[in-house]
Amino acid sequence: MPDYMTILTKIKGLDPEALYYGGSSLAGVKVVKQSYDVLPKIIKGGGDGVYGASLLKGAGYPTVEGWYATIAAPYLAENPDVAPWIKKYQDKYGHGPTSYSFTAYDAMLVVLDAIKRVAASGKPVNRDTVRDAIQTANLMTLQGVVSFDENGDIKDRTISVFRYQHDDKYPEDAVLLQYKYLGVAPQTS
């Protein structure tokens, strides 16, 4: 695993106000730990690579305290409409879902809907027809309506913002309980 001390020391010499990490949680553990030592006082954040149980468990408290994280999905953990799904998930797996559990579930709903629509149309159910049907999806899911633009990108561009704030009442790697939801990132057109 890479060592980030040299680059973090160079960054420190630039007197930065913030540090952004855009990688995976695997390497993120080391970035979080080493940045705690080299740049303890600046704002730190990243994408979904700093939002996960493996990072929380690997980096640990207090090194991850205060880190901001974003995920490319709406925040659903406190949505009362989604509560029955969360309970079913917890009962089945013995722990709560992560934010991407919702997204993965919704992705399967979109795929299954596309397969059903292709089959009902009488077309052969194959990669091309299912892909084309996914492109025309307009399906209500846990996170709302999923549909795609002409480039195949999801139309809902919600980015949820979180900040790690350690809470002794919960397991260290309980993502939905250790990260506090701050809101939706501003969008520009």
- 10-residue block means of pLDDT along the chain (189 residues)? 89 96 90 95 93 88 94 90 94 85 95 98 98 97 95 92 93 86 86
Q: What's the 3-state SS for 124-144?
A: CCCHHHHHHHHHCCEEEECCE
pLDDT of residue 1: 58
pTM of this structure: 0.82
pLDDT of residue 34: 96
Domain ranges of the chain: 5-72+159-184, 83-147
CATH class of 5-72+159-184: alpha beta
Closest by alpha carbon to 178, among 107, 105, 103, 95? 95
